[in-house]
């Protein structure tokens, strides 16, 4: 794993999904097979495979402190393409420092991660009035998680973290995306831990080889996804979880 400290030119960027996005890291140690973010590698100069390098934007908090005073207040996505709570955040605390600044200025924030490390920052998150904090969880089956997301935290650790955030009174959501084999058991596990669920099929091309290698092709047909979305919708309704 190549970890490099870099000086970013800017940090509070425009986004197509939310008005703004902050990416404190470029590259992601979670190494999900389907990762849609790998396209950014071509802007980094790295030759290592995706998942084997992380650029740490060491000046992110300093930049944000400057940029936040120059931009119109609106919702910020933390993060768009590389997990804001990937392992390096344990050492660098750049996401935490950026959240402290956003809390100080009371900007609305949407956090999205696969890591329970986010619970470290509950003290900061509780200072925010328009916060939603969510996990991406594509399956309830940790053996599937190991095939598709080998270096990401376990499903149970994400569920435990969600429960902790929800108990702290924070608005929580889960994005079931991509919908992986074993997703049908998720609503039962999410009941009482989340305010909202988002379903998204996403683009699977990068993980084609995983489906092939483990003979899982029947789980990536249109029929399977249609059936799974219907099953999930009905179970989520039973548990009164909003979509």
Write out the two tokens for 148: 């598709």
Q: The tokens 């935490």 sit on which residue?
A: 96
CB of residue 127 to ligand SF4, shortest distance in Å: 26
Q: Which residues would be at the binding site for ligand SF4 (CB under 6 A)?
A: 28, 30-32, 35, 37, 81-83, 114, 152
Residue with smaller CB distance to ligand SF4, 28 or 118: 28
Closest CA to 87 of 134, 37, 29: 29
> CA–CA separation, 161 vs 157, rounded Å?
6
CB of residue 82 to ligand SF4, shortest distance in Å: 5
> CA–CA separation, 3 vs 55, rounded Å?
6
Residue with smaller CB distance to ligand SF4, 82 or 155: 82
Residue with smaller CB distance to ligand SF4, 37 or 236: 37
Residue with smaller CB distance to ligand SF4, 88 or 235: 88
Write out the two tokens for 138: 């594509």
> CA–CA separation, 46 vs 177, rounded Å?
27
The full length of the chain comes to: 243
CB of residue 16 to ligand SF4, shortest distance in Å: 16
CB of residue 224 to ligand SF4, shortest distance in Å: 21
β-bridge mates for residue 240, sequence order:
none
């Amino acid at each position: 794993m190549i970890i490099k400290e870099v000086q970013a030119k800017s940090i509070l960027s425009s986004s197509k999904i939310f008005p703004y996005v902050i990416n404190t890291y470029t590259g992601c140690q979670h190494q999900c097979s389907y990762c849609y973010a790998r396209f950014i590698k071509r802007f980094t100069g790295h030759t290592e495979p995706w998942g084997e390098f992380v650029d740490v934007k060491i000046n992110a908090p300093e930049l944000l402190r400057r940029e936040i005073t120059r931009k119109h207040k609106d919702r910020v996505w933390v993060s768009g393409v590389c997990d804001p709570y990937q392992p390096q955040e344990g050492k660098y605390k750049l996401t935490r420092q950026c959240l402290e600044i956003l809390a100080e200025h009371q900007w609305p924030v949407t956090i999205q991660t696969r890591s329970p490390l986010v619970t470290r920052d509950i003290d900061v998150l509780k200072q925010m009035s328009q916060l939603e904090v969510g996990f991406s969880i594509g399956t309830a089956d940790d053996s599937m998680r190991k095939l598709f997301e080998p270096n990401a935290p376990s499903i149970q650790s994400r569920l435990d973290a969600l429960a902790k955030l929800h108990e702290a009174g924070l608005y929580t959501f889960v994005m079931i995306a991509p919908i992986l084999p074993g997703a049908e058991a998720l609503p039962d596990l999410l009941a009482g831990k989340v305010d909202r669920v988002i379903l998204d099929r996403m683009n699977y091309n990068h993980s084609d080889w995983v489906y092939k290698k483990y003979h899982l092709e029947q789980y990536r047909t249109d029929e399977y996804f249609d059936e799974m979305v219907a099953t999930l919708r009905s179970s989520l309704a039973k548990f009164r979880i909003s979509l």
